[in-house]
A and B are shown apart, each in its own frame.
Chain A
Amino acid sequence: PERSARISKVRPPLHQYVRKLLFSDLDKDSIANVLKQLRKLPWSECEQYILKCFMKVHKGKYGQIHLIASLTSGLSRHHDEFVVAVVDEVLEEIRVGLELNEYGAQQKRLAHMRFLGELYNYEHVDSSVIFETLYLTLLYGHDTSEQEVLDPPEDFFRVRMVIILLETCGHYFDRGSSKKRLDQFLIHFQRYILSKGHLPLDIEFDLQDLFANLRPNMTRYSTIDEVNAAILQLEEREHASSGDKVSIERHSDTKPSNKSSSDVISSN
């Protein structure tokens, strides 16, 4: 059969150089040098391309994602606009991943969760962004007609996404309000897991590790009724403690709400 010859992509030298720096040179010993070289580049010309390459964290080694986060951090002093773009882009990728739920994108989606967690560790996103992402992951598309497509019962991918993010940065949520928010989230996470039915063993083991690392004393509920009761209790306690604040602050709604509706902005 006739077939046209495969045309290989020819990249401009500048792009080739960026790729060489990020995809072959970068390791923990060379990172200071790679950062220096990146800073020397003509930014007005190649900022968009560098951003594009930073988003390809899934192409490199999983263990190297923190190096890309570290580079992001190193660039923040003189290229703050770039760092903001990196954060916005990762969050968008995570969102689009949930919207499309493509099987072929799984590796990329996990890498982006890891990247987001590392960006938190380098203090480029705050904890509320992490918690919003966690709840978005549990809730996106639920209670809509698309739930069957976006998160069918036998699909455990979102559990993996949550595990990756919490493995990366969950250990920082160990005091104050972020500790409380993680406690609350983990109960909602448990409800989500129980709603899924029987977990594959590998995921169950990862979950056991996660709970052992983050909250060794937390109860693992075994039925939906138990976990629902725990959530009810949580909400009542929340209500009681915020009761006196409500009269002062109107926007005290701390209940995690379904993302697909809550983010639509309205004035009342």
Chain B
Amino acid sequence: MLLFLARRTALAVLVALTVLTFAFVLTRLAGDLAIVIAGPEARAEDVEAIRRAYGLDRPVVIQFLDWAWRAAMGDFGQSFFYRERVSTLIWERLPITLTLGLVGLAIALVVALPLGILAALRENTWIDRAVGLVAMVGQAMPSFWLGLILMLVLGLQLGWLPISGTGSWQHYVMPGIVLSFSAIPALMRLTRAGMIDAMSSDYIRTARAKGLSRGSIVLKHALRNAAMPVVSITAVQLGFMLGGSIVIETVFALHGIGFLAWESISKNDFPTVQAVVLLFAIIYIVLTLLADVLNAVLDPRLRAS
């Protein structure tokens, strides 16, 4: 168990370091950064001044090590566009994105788990097929388009929810619904598959032979065993959802990390782009690591070994 966690953590650190390198290389794709920063009308002296000011005249390896060292310490430098420290920008906006992600995840779980369980218990009936169709629609729905449609229907036509901004909890409902759509199909299918597996297992037959109630059989005995892969996929999906928040935050003008990312990309604000790429990657890595730990807690067989 401890060995497993140690290996898992080592892998996570290695992946994080690789992404760190990737984030640095990514911003060097454009060629000479100084020219990009200075803008198209800049004179040669200005470009030279910028190059010195940002330390771009140093060898690339030194630049990388310097940046990586600072990044590892949580210092991502100064934003070109916002004229503020990148870490400050991120800390201000992180709560919004996390709230959005958690709301989306909560909606996804509330929809996907019961439907997945229901489909499994009614395998091969019209209910099962209807649930499958829901998954398919969710998978095919372009999130930004769904966002716009919801704005028109729930916001404009019915006037139930605010259309954009971050003022109150209501502002998170529509973006949360849209975000949940990306996670629902996978969660639902996995819950269904896991429950079908569990319900046809020998220990469920034992539970029935013990005369346990239907609720106890389904929720206590089957779901507990079906939950392990669902936990893993939930962590992965939350990671993807946060990464996907860039589209939804832009649609709904939620000023979270995703919106920051979009703005900094359009404004060639490299330090911010690097930091956000790294941030999302690290959130994903931590989430999957967490899922592995949680699974080890859930599954006594893993716990022991």
Query: Do the two chains bind?
Result: no
